[in-house]
Amino acid sequence: EAEVAQSPRYKITEKSQAVAFWCDPISGHATLYWYRQILGQGPELLVQFQDESVVDDSQLPKDRFSAERLKGVDSTLKIQPAELGDSAMYLCASSPLAAGYGYTFGSGTRLTVV
């Protein structure tokens, strides 16, 4: 069964440092999503890509977060500088173009900022 690949699985970084996460969606999935899940809460969308274009980044803290999907395939989410409140699980998901399909999630990256 096809999977969404994410790396690293775990990341510990000091505050004010830069950190990056990588996601490789299921082949052929046009839509890619980055979600943030704070412990004890539901996932919240940070950014949504359609191919290489951003279609929703309204909840992305753009002063410190950036995301790209240059060739419309894999994607990188960056935080610079990291803050203590960024500690969370960062989940990547992908889906086909049609709205009726569910999302397939990767295993996530657990970020701890110390």
Partner 1 sequence: AQSVAQPEDQVNVAEGNPLTVKCTYSVSGNPYLFWYVQYPNRGLQFLLKYITGDNLVKGSYGFEAEFNKSQTSFHLKKPSALVSDSALYFCAVRANTGFQKLVFGTGTRLLVSP
1 binds partner 1 (CB under 8 A): no
Residue 77: name the closest of 104, 100, 54 by CA. 54
Parallel, antiparallel, or unpaired: how do β-strands 19-24 and 75-79 relate?
A: antiparallel
Task: Quote the least distance from Cβ 16 to partner 1, whole Å.
Answer: 26
Among 65, 86, 106, 113, binds partner 1 (CB under 8 A): 106
Burial class of residue 62, CB neighbours in 10 A (0-12, 13-18, 19+): exposed
Among 19, 23, 32, 33, binds partner 1 (CB under 8 A): 33
Residues 12-31 that bind partner 1 (CB under 8 A): 31
